Amino acid sequence: MSLDNVYADAFRASSYAALEFPGTYYLAFRDVPALLGKHVVGTRALDFGCGAGRSTRFLRSLGFCVVGVDIAADMLAHARERDPDGDYREVGENGERIAQLQPVDVIFSAFTFDNVPALERKLTILRELAGRLAPGGKLVNLVSSPEIYVHEWASFTTREFPENRNARSGDSVKIVMTDVADRRPVIDVVCSDADYRELYDRAGLELLETHRPLGRPDEPQRWVSETTVAPWSLYVLGKR
């Protein structure tokens, strides 16, 4: 298995490390506690692609005993600095140490698959993760919806990249985060819902629920497209 280390850049890592849950990111995590409460039994957790530890700390705040893993040393350094009591591990460019981890009750992956270019590489990773699920364990995969790359948002802009509209699964797309100091475009890889569903099936995973959060008018955020278009997709999966 191989992952692209898109955050092996000190400025990008430090910018991203400062993020908590502003704007559009709030929607990515708002409904996660309810989803985990509905589907997960047990407290052993793996945060796959933990970055600077935002999602790891989030899981721990919900009562999980969590290990955060990533391939980006710069991001892990930020995670350990901010959370010295946390358990953060580097899995290596080829993810070869994933199989050495103990089985867990839930694997949470936030945005990691946005940076995995080829469908077959996504499939390899999903199979690896499925093998780390304890009996009854669940995988929660949080990814960017294809729609995020063609609209304007509270936390993102894509107006400078009209070519995104022609992108298909496996194509690179560009997006700019407006909540961080680093305004260089982030290059992601788009993947359709249909392709994710096929990958889950091939990986031996059963899709239990798909959730696409929308912003609500009564929320304090200044939503742009979020009340009518879902920027994120959350897939809850179990081993078939």
Half-sphere exposure of 218 (CA within 13 A, CB side): 0
Measured over the CA atoms of residue 74, residue 49, residue 152 and residue 191, the dihedral's sign is positive
Q: For residue 151, is it within any domain?
A: no
The pLDDT profile of the chain, 240 residues, written as one tens digit per residue, is 334 445 455 656 555 556 678 899 999 999 999 999 999 999 999 999 999 999 999 999 999 999 999 998 889 999 999 999 999 999 866 555 788 899 999 999 999 999 998 999 999 999 999 999 999 999 999 999 999 999 999 999 999 999 999 999 999 999 999 988 888 999 999 999 999 999 999 999 999 999 999 999 999 999 999 999 999 999 999 999
Q: For residue 176, is it within any domain?
A: no
Q: For residue 166, is it within any domain?
A: no
Give the structural domain span for 141.
Answer: 10-146+192-239
For residue 9, give the amino acid letter: D
Question: Is 189 in a helix, a strand, or coil?
Answer: strand
Q: For residue 121, is it within any domain?
A: yes
Task: Report the length, in residues, of the chain.
Answer: 240
Q: For residue 111, is it within any domain?
A: yes
CA 63-66-67 angle, 5° bins: 170
Looking at residue 185, what DSSP letter applies? P
* The model's pTM: 0.91
Q: For residue 104, is it within any domain?
A: yes
Number of structural domains in the chain: 1
Q: For residue 65, is it within any domain?
A: yes
Question: What CATH number is given to the structural domain containing 201?
Answer: 3.40.50.150
